[in-house]
């Protein structure tokens, strides 16, 4: 098997209870039609009181299936590894990426500027510095402006003058 034919290993960290929709879509695209290995890594901060239970049910079931579980279901049995680790996010992500020989680390950019996501932003920044060729940070799609530009302009008042050239 040549290096270009070698199966890919993709690591997707779960940092805030689930992965973002754009990260899910990007990972799904990379997994489509390939014999790829998928590593789902649920990361909890050591200083978090709740441990690794997360909002989306890392260790407990919820009514809605978290996106990380949906992603795992897309991969052939025996090609998915799910692990939960408590510690410094960037350190454990790098260690697991090395352990599994992951070619790509897919991270979703946190939504909004909530104070609770600062640790995720810090981890992403550190991973970008330490493993720039492997890290893909998938941002949120920018929403279209509520009103088109022409609708926000002020009306012209006064007399109209004819343009001359």
User: Quick one: pLDDT band at residue 2, thresholds 50, 70, 90?
Assistant: very low
Domain count, the chain: 1
Q: Which structural domain range is residue 106 located in?
A: 9-140
CA distance 109 to 88: 18
**pLDDT (tens digit per residue) in 109-127:** 987 766 678 899 999 999 9
Residue 141 reports pLDDT greater than 90: no
Flag whether pLDDT at 8 surpasses 80: yes
Looking at the domain assignment, is residue 153 inside a domain? no
159 domain-assigned: no
Q: Which residues, at least 6 apart from 119, have a Cβ–Cβ distance to it below 8 Å?
A: 45, 89
pLDDT of residue 158: 55
> Residue 72 domain-assigned?
yes
The answer to whether residue 87 scores a pLDDT higher than 60 is yes
**pLDDT digit string (tens) for 23-74?**
999 999 988 867 889 999 999 987 765 444 444 444 445 458 899 999 999 9
- Name, of 1-5, 50-54, 140-144, 155-159, the range with top average pLDDT: 155-159
Q: Is residue 152 part of a domain?
A: no
Q: Which residue has the tokens 């799904």?
A: 28
Q: How many residues does the chain have?
A: 165
Distances (CA, A) of 42 to 66, 114, 145: 12, 20, 35
pLDDT, residue 147, reads: 35
Distances in Å between the Cα of 64 and the Cα atoms of 38, 68, 72, 83 are 21, 12, 15, 20
DSSP the chain: --TTTSPPEEEEEE-SSS--HHHHHHHHHHHTTS--EEEEEEEE-TT-TTTT-TTTTSSS--SSPPHHHHHHHTSPTTSEEEEEEES-HHHHHHHHHHHHT-SEEEEEPPSTT-GGGHHHHHHHHHHHHH-TTTEEEEPPPPPPPSS-GGGGSPPP-S-------
Residue 48 sits in a domain whose CATH number is 3.40.50.620
Position 151 confidence tier, pLDDT thresholds 50, 70, 90: very low
């Amino acid at each position: 098997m040549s290096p270009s034919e070698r199966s890919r290993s993709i690591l997707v960290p779960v940092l805030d209870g689930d992965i973002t929709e754009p990260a899910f879509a990007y990972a799904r695209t990379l997994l489509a039609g390939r014999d790829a290995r998928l590593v789902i890594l649920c990361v909890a901060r050591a200083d978090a009181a709740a441990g690794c239970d997360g909002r989306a049910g890392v260790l407990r079931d919820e009514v809605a299936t978290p996106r990380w579980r949906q992603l795992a279901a897309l991969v052939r049995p025996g090609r998915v590894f799910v692990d939960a680790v408590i510690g410094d996010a960037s350190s454990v992500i790098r260690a697991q990426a090395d352990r599994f020989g992951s070619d790509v680390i897919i991270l979703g950019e946190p939504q909004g500027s909530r104070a609770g996501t600062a640790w995720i932003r810090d981890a992403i920044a550190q991973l970008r510095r330490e493993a720039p060729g492997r890290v893909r940070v998938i941002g949120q799609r920018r929403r279209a402006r509520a009103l088109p530009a022409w609708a926000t302009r002020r009306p012209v008042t006064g007399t109209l003058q004819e343009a001359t050239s």
